[in-house]
A and B are shown apart, each in its own frame.
Chain A
């Protein structure tokens, strides 16, 4: 298995509080992505990074920010959590040398009450 660790694995938080999810990789891959997965919507890209300090928005970026200060860590912050951000969040990494293979973490189940 690719070395990707997401933390926490489960979290319950209150509406209006900030929340930070962490993705840590040991593969030294250049690209990192945050997706959310919701019933009826599948996986949707929130933000991604193509290098240290290089990030860009995805399809559903409103209400989220990211930071990548070193290759191995990619943080996703919900600035003020809302119930619509209750979801399962997946981090993925990729290197894109040869085949385009993205490895996914185990997911973080976030509930906003």
Chain B
């Protein structure tokens, strides 16, 4: 079993939809959780960062972490065509030199 599981999609939604992206993980020691967005042929860019369990909101984006279920989510409200990208979850352990373990990424297309 891979440490971090993420449905690769692809996921296609109409503009304005609420998008839910999810990852599960097996290592209960993960403490820092991140979501990256990657446009085609570009490097990943950090969208959201969460430490331990809880929610974090930034504009149209909300990240949730449920450590008891080993499950993290990213919600995108009022999705826009510019949100079309691959979304990668990542996580890391404290004291590990912050090496990131990534999910495989979910390809999202928002149709105008």
Contact = CB atoms under 8 A, between A and B. Distances in A.
A45 B100 contact: yes
B92 interface: yes
Interface of B: 6, 32, 34, 36, 41-46, 49, 88, 90, 92, 97-105
Given A99-B49, A100-B49, A90 B44 contact: yes
| Central interface residue in B6, B44, B101, B105, by most chain A CB within 10 Å | B44
Interface stretch (A12-20, A35-43, A64-72, A73-81): A35-43
Q: How large is the interface on A (under 10, 10 to 19, 20 to 34, 35 or more residues)?
A: 20 to 34
A29 to B, nearest CB: 11
A53 to B, nearest CB: 15
A107 B39 CA distance: 12
Main secondary structure of the interface of A (DSSP, over half): strand
Nearest to A95: B98
Contacts of A103: 46
B98 A100 contact: yes
A109 to B, nearest CB: 8
A45 B99 contact: yes
Nearest to B45: A104
Nearest to B8: A40
Interface in A49-87: 50, 56, 58
A26 B44 CA distance: 18
A51 B46 CA distance: 23
B97 A31 contact: yes
